[in-house]
Structure 1
């Protein structure tokens, strides 16, 4: 019996932290979104409504940072090998 599913909300994971290490939270140049990493994923959330979230999960390594380009059109992410 087929059924349809409509996503109403997305519960994003909290930022991953390591004891004794700094945590980097990035923001877009327009000041409307912020981003952070958790394990192998990058989460991009809206400042005014944090329930609005995009997630990129194409990485093969554990990420440590994600940042917007000055133009706001690209995001760079890096991690440890």
Structure 2
């Protein structure tokens, strides 16, 4: 029996009263990205069930942005 991961159902952005929520978009307009806890979530706009999650941060993240070329993402 084999297992195949079809979809990732990513969490919604974590909000906090009085704190800004920064959403980023890629230059092509296909994906959005946001921070949630120690993770950066990249979601497809047309089909939200397609997502990628980066979980390598050791502390809480607050922002993520695409580079102008769309090949890199900076997060902090």
Q: What is the TM-score when the length of structure 1 is the normalising length?
A: 0.88
Q: Determine the C-alpha separation between the residues in 1 that align with 2:15 and 2:64.
A: 14
1:16 counterpart (14, 17, 33): 14
Higher strand share: 1
Segments ≥4 residues shifted beyond 2 Å: none
Q: What is the number of equivalent residue pairs in this alignment?
A: 76
| Matches of 1:38 and 1:50, distance apart in 2 | 16
User: Which structure has the bigger radius of gyration?
Assistant: 1
- TM-score, normalising length from structure 2? 0.93
Q: Unaligned stretches of 5+ in structure 2?
A: none
Render the CA deviation track for 1:20-73: whole Å, top value 9, x for unaligned: 011011000010110011100001011111111011010001000000011111
Give the RMSD, CA atoms, in angstroms: 0.9
Q: Which has the higher contact order (CA 8 A, sep 6+)?
A: 2
